A = this chain, B = another copy of it.
Amino acid sequence: MRRKVCIVVTARPSYARIKTVLQAVRDHPDLQLQLVIAASALLDRYGSAIDVIRADGFEPDAQVYMILEGENLTTMAKSTGLGLLELATVFDNLRPDIVVSVADRFETLATAVAASYMNIPTVHVQGGEITGSIDEKVRHAVTKLADAHFVCTQRAGENVIRMGEREDRVFLTGCPSIDIAAEVARSPELTIDPLESFGGTGPDLDLSDGYLVVLQHPVTTEHREAMLQVEETLHATRDSGLPVLWFWPNVDAGSDGTSKGIRVFREQEDLQNMHFFRNMPPEDFLRLLIGGSGIIGNSSVAIRECSYLGVPAVNIGSRQGGRERGRNVLDVEHDRDAILEAALAQAAARRHDCDPLYGDGSAGTRIADLLATIDIGIEKRLTY
């Protein structure tokens, strides 16, 4: 009998982080994929990941609306509670043998709590890393609930073990997002015109002499400052003179602050060099990065995929603080001058070498093989 592996995808960026695992589990002879799509992955205004997932050939076994309106910290907590409430029903009906909880978004804690409370062996992908904000608490809380850990870096694995997890339950698989990066790196040419294919708003831009890509998310524990912070990035990239391709942030408490900052700036300023996108398939997004002059903002893509791809990155503020990084990253504060200077320096720099810090491109199959074979119980204790 094949092991039923239930994977809960709650957001567009999480899908990129787990896609090759979905494929490898689906294709594995000893595994049966149970796919649950929930939270912002179902929502139009966060890019309808569900449509992309279906287009990639996956049909969800269940879908669960769970995000409350309000985009504040109260609704973030309530959404997680609602998710926990409903995912328990979903697991009760699907009866998986293993549940996979992905990374560290606030709502992913619901997956880990439901599964661990229901005595379903729980696997955490991407634990042990260090960052800022609520993600840090979520990530390590999930580690303490999970029964096995598929980590992305050597040091992340060490961290998980130091937190008291059993060494024989920690596996260095690399990050599934690097699998996509590795595949893209094998055919790096962007075959479409992004402005034509993905619309967005703003002027037509000539991308032939380089361009910046911007992706900046609100930082939940500082969400009142989100509007001020994004203004710095808006000024800096506008003043760079380079064409700027700006991607809207995904759902989080405070996204309202960031989004409002962008909206206000757009209305007040005449933005000749900036084009705004809602969303794009991860592969095209990566090709866009490979072909460009660098990525600006606080997305983990700049740290993870871009280290593998050698794309120069300007990382702003505390959101990725503590996360291991390669040589492709320049860190700056939320300061327009510093951002501008770093962006221009990166745009002038050469591409960096491939750095397999976060994986070598085989995480998906490695994880599926482990899911099919590892012996994971649900009982554990601090190893101290």
Stretch at the interface among A22-30, A159-167, A329-337: A159-167
Q: Give residues of chain A (183-242) contacting chain B, Cβ–Cβ below 8 Å.
A: 201, 220-221
User: Is A69 touching B43 in the complex (CB atoms < 8 A)?
Assistant: yes
Q: How far is the CA of A62 from the CA of B90 in the complex (A)?
A: 9
Question: With contacts A106-B117, A162-B164, A164-B162 known, is A65 near B73, CB below 8 A?
Answer: no
Q: Does A256 contact B (CB under 8 A)?
A: yes
Q: Give residues of chain A (41-94) contacting chain B, Cβ–Cβ below 8 Å.
A: 42-45, 62-70, 73-78, 80-89, 91-93
Contacts of A77 in B (CB 8 A): 84, 87-88, 91, 113-114, 117-118
Contacts of A62 in B (CB 8 A): 89, 93
Q: Does A339 contact B (CB under 8 A)?
A: no
Q: Does A245 contact B (CB under 8 A)?
A: no
Stretch at the interface among A130-138, A173-181, A291-299, A361-369: A130-138
Question: With contacts A78-B88, A145-B137 known, is A132 near B93, CB below 8 A?
Answer: no
Q: Does A20 contact B (CB under 8 A)?
A: no
Q: How far is the CA of A140 from the CA of B384 in the complex (A)?
A: 13
Q: Does A270 contact B (CB under 8 A)?
A: no
Taking the closest CB of chain B, its distance from the CB of A41, in whole angstroms, is 11
Complex partner residue of A89 from B86, B91, B110, CB under 8 angstroms:
B86
Contacts of A220 in B (CB 8 A): 119
Q: Does A279 contact B (CB under 8 A)?
A: no
Contacts of A379 in B (CB 8 A): 132-133, 221
Taking the closest CB of chain B, its distance from the CB of A204, in whole angstroms, is 15
Contacts of A109 in B (CB 8 A): 113
User: Is B89 touching A380 in the complex (CB atoms < 8 A)?
Assistant: no
Contacts of A76 in B (CB 8 A): 117-118
Q: How many residues of A contact B (CB 8 A)?
A: 73
Q: How many copies, total? A: 4
Complex partner residue of A117 from B43, B73, B92, B267, CB under 8 angstroms:
B73
Question: With contacts A64-B89, A92-B74 known, is A114 near B81, CB below 8 A?
Answer: yes
Q: Give residues of chain A (112-159) contacting chain B, Cβ–Cβ below 8 Å.
A: 113-114, 116-119, 130-134, 136-137, 140-145, 158-159
Q: Does A378 contact B (CB under 8 A)?
A: yes
Complex partner residue of A67 from B68, B85, B201, B256, CB under 8 angstroms:
B68
Taking the closest CB of chain B, its distance from the CB of A269, in whole angstroms, is 16
Q: How far is the CA of A116 from the CA of B69 in the complex (A)?
A: 19
Contacts of A163 in B (CB 8 A): 162-164, 382
Q: How far is the CA of A366 from the CA of B163 in the complex (A)?
A: 28
Q: How far is the CA of A322 from the CA of B383 in the complex (A)?
A: 10
Question: With contacts A44-B256, A113-B109 known, is A137 near B81, CB below 8 A?
Answer: no
Q: List 20 A-B contacts (CB under 8 A).
A: A43-B70, A44-B256, A45-B69, A65-B70, A67-B68, A73-B117, A77-B118, A78-B89, A80-B117, A81-B82, A82-B85, A84-B84, A113-B113, A117-B134, A130-B381, A131-B381, A132-B381, A133-B379, A158-B384, A163-B164
Other 7 A-B pairs with CB < 8 A, given A136-B381, A162-B384: A80-B113, A106-B117, A119-B221, A136-B380, A144-B144, A158-B384, A162-B164
